[in-house]
A = this chain, B = another copy of it.
Amino acid sequence: MVIFDDAMTERTRSENGSLIENAAKFPSGLATIVDTLHRDGLLFGVYSSAGRFTCGGYPGSLGYETIDAEWWSSLGADYLKYDNCYNEGLSGTPKLSQDRYAAMSNALNSTSRQITYSLCNWGDDKPWEWASTISNSARISGDISDSFDMPTTSCPCGPDEYYCQLPGYGCSIVNILGKASHIVSKNQPGYWNDLDMLEVGNGGMDHEEYKMHFSMWAAIKSPLIMGNKLDQLSPEDYAILINPAVLAISQDPSGSAISRKLVQQVDEKDEHGFGEVQVWSGGLNNSDQVVAFLNIGNASRTMKFSLVDIFGGIKTNENAQRSWDLFDVWGNETVMSNDVASQVLNGTLAVGNATGYYNASAKSWAQGLNQSESLLLGTPAGSVQGGGSISAEVPRHGIQMWRLREAGGGEQKRDEL
């Protein structure tokens, strides 16, 4: 999918109120471009705001929901990102915000086209409480920046402020992860917490940081939208973005997000004052589990946690009593070597032929998982007995993430209970 920004239209509406495509930008007409996109198997995304103007000062759709939705539908739009700028004060209670965004939901549903509705009100008025019945995803925080954990004045709410009165912009990925941590349970098939676009490839973070960023966005089931310049993507970053074992977690049929089970302060604070480790886990389809160890401290460290802690700290937890085989979802990272990735990126190798790439069009994620495709599971990384612990060396600002599959056909046994 390609999302067009607000410069897709002219700065003013026509006399009858309709939006006008930007003739200077699209001399051969938008329709031609959309046709090309669709012919190439790509989807066409549009952007507007539930306000008088878009954030860029183009006409907003508040009060024009029907006419705009019909235009987008007639253009063949597949996706709408609907922003929150210039909202005329129509916020401050969930009701005020819901009314404004429900108007567009109704308008989209009245068109003849299936248009994915991406609500973006920066988490104001707690969309996780009401957005799932009117949209397909909702942003939960201020805008992301290409930074691991730098605090900024423009994103004043910290990672633990679960009710932010000034979402802002310039939010680091650690900041957004914190905000997401309290509401991961709101996900369900067809509705997703949106942690904002990916920064992988923009150069502001190192490789370990980008791996944590991508892993967590996938495991929390945030929409995965690339926010980098495609023609400047490095092979290393490309390898992150197409990691099949991580994408298989993102696309798991369960649709459920992993959740944070533990936060512990550690000694080595980094330059921005962070020094903590986090443990996340959650369930997947077929009783598989995801476990992630995050090192948000200033030095590499061995992280070791018991299954009881990993699965939530309640000693009666059944998952903590099971035995598991571990698969390292980043163990395959080297499968697609830089050489291969370079060839894909420079067009000398078709991606479908590249080692380490999973073709989900040919075989669905669910099917591949059922068949235990090793690209999707990750690389075998030992096992853990019921009641035992998992240990790993995790680099500074890095992540260790595993898929756990019950050892010895446990799944079947459980069904017999």
Contacts and interface: CB of A to CB of B under 8 A. Distances in A.
Interface of A: 52-53, 57, 86-99, 102, 125-126, 129-130, 132-133, 145-147, 150, 152-154, 156, 160, 162-163, 165-166, 168-170, 181-183, 185, 188, 202-204, 259-261, 263, 312-316
Contacts of A132: 86
Contacts of A316: 146, 202-204
A97 B89 contact: yes
Contacts of A153: 181-182, 259-261, 263
Contacts of A168: 182
Q: What is the interface of chain A mostly: helix, strand, loop, or mixed?
A: loop
Contacts of A99: 89
Contacts of A156: 160, 162, 182
Nearest to A315: B204
A145 B313 CA distance: 11
A87 B125 CA distance: 13
A203 B146 CA distance: 45
A94 B86 CA distance: 12
B91 A129 contact: yes
Contact of A166 (B87, B93, B102, B162): B162
A314 B168 CA distance: 17
Contacts of A129: 87, 89, 91
A125 B98 CA distance: 17
12 contacts: A87-B129, A88-B102, A89-B94, A89-B125, A89-B129, A92-B92, A92-B93, A146-B316, A152-B261, A154-B259, A162-B166, A168-B182
B90 A95 contact: yes
Contacts of A313: 147, 150, 152
A154 B133 contact: no
Contacts of A204: 314-316
Contact of A163 (B133, B165, B259): B165
Contacts of A160: 156
Contacts of A147: 313-314
Contact of A162 (B165, B203, B263): B165
A108 B351 CA distance: 62
Contact of A87 (B88, B91, B130, B162): B130
B259 A88 contact: no
Contact of A154 (B165, B182, B263): B182
A97 B89 CA distance: 8
Given A89-B95, A89-B98, A156-B182, 6 more contacts: A53-B133, A89-B125, A91-B94, A152-B313, A154-B259, A166-B183
Contacts of A86: 130, 132-133
